[in-house]
Structure 1
């Protein structure tokens, strides 16, 4: 009898464990409003527990197409993504089987999620492109009648191993093409013009060498096409969410690049530097913020050689806590030249500086409201600044997010331009674990004449 009971218990454990890790699993609301201790801004924390939360990278959509859910990364279920309902605070697991790199949310035609993941059981380095029907996940999760993961997750196609595709990717504005980074050097080189000089590593991190490429897969048919090859290492890829067939991407070196920002059409035409930078400029963290505009940071985080200014070099007063202080990067990123939150027009190519902190690291990760009214940026101290683009007035929205945090604040405006999502370690007992947080644009600023 005891042996039979033991077998029954083991069978029950086996049956329960997969269900706990299943897509659609629900977690109770953790939603909590906290007043910023310095500015008084009401901060809505949508997660508050130390579960390894982090937001999608700020260059990509954070909200689902209906504006009700925010998707984020979490260790609540290892290797899976979550969504939190902004109104109720309910948390739902939205992937099963893992994902690699970026999470991409469609912005029209229903709530859908796209990502890459290894083709388990397939050829080494082959990757699956996956589409998740979030509307069905949310509905069935709410009703408590979840089906197997294959009922919600569709394999669009398999990217062959010679591409060596990785998780830097972006969904085109019309939702038809899913673009991805190709690290297979033989494949990328075969699509370069004859005689192209391949770039070597750049900077002390030994990164930046090429060639790399961008490819795309049709989300309906699974057709795979080559977009462009370049002679350097590609970093972040993002789409212009207002203009189908337009991409922005970076030359990634782990720090200062010879030419950080690039743009290209989805058919491979029009490849050019987005902002042609000078050797003394440290350009980083570009983000498409509107149909014709891209925001980026011209960093002013390093001390001018021969001028004592340790506060500006460190930003937080803690040497080594932030990147770019290594002398091997040269003299780029000082304030001998103009720095700050810059915005470049994709059509006219004109650039404007809309704001900069008077001291410290300067603005670092930047974004802007789609209506063109506001810009936002964080700094090395993890403080968040709002800028009125018309008047150039700047205000501190929130601070105290702990420079010891596991990652940076990474602000992203909501589509309606009325709030900003960040990730914050303000509530972390260990000073490192981060949570998902919504920061409102002050009503007085919203009421201003556009």
Structure 2
């Protein structure tokens, strides 16, 4: 890691694995309710125009000049952090005999990130309104997908913190309040105050990359590493939310507190527990709720070790709600009692190992691991250590993790009579 400016870090990851070079930037701040919609809208605006490329046609034309470079901005979150990402993927210049390709790509990144289409303290009004409408349409479309809607609603029901309740891209309600001048002002705040991590992955020389990235006109900012983990105390009262709509399939989603976080020794046992509970096609939820009892169109589980949270999602006939609730609970009780076969246990570990090994070829995985080490220096494991910790998980460890899982919230989308 090289510090280019205070609070601005460059991570050069040389590798001969790829014929492409990935340039990546992540601007991070503490997650609060009022910033998420702003940052999602900013990502859209910066992705589609700049001063030199004031519309999508001109911007796409420049990407074509960069031998069809891939480019995009998006937002994301982890625990108490929120980030805006910018990525540019180019072919390595040595394969197209163009030594000026990498400097040209850096010029493009600098243009998009530091010279947005702002005049007199405002984005171009037409572009601002267009991207505001596009974001509104995107959020509303997600609500139309009932499986996605249910996944968002269970988080809204489970979390007590307002910022954790809403998705990383914000809400239509907050979008309505966004003004052009306000967003332009927030852009300047973000570019001068956010923590910045820059990454370059590919067959590159570190010294050359440092010289190139130093051209980006970042300024010193106060170094800040907000606590990444979000903690929420388990409650004795289960929170419930129910919505009735005329849909062909009801949705029953459950949220559990795990009290297990990314650096905890139990994390690997949680990985195996989730695989056995609902993470894989041989899991108890899939085999017993979906296949054997035929009570669900789908049934699976997933978890978040930055918020101590596990979610079960199912699609059901609405009149089977109580049966499905009871059956899901029975699967958890079975795991708490250690009632799973050695075959299922070993199969789960083998699939987790395979998934990990496949991920080693992913540039994005490498970026995420390197980024995370900034906030959690002890979290970076060698591949051998990661695999050793997975292999060391015992059936008793899985049983102990299962006993920590506490049901905290239920969301039910009732499809009404036509669905039952």
- Same fold, judged at TM 0.5 (above): no
**Structure showing the higher helix proportion among its residues:** 2
Per the normalisation by structure 1, the TM-score is 0.25
Bigger CA radius of gyration: 2
Per the normalisation by structure 2, the TM-score is 0.26
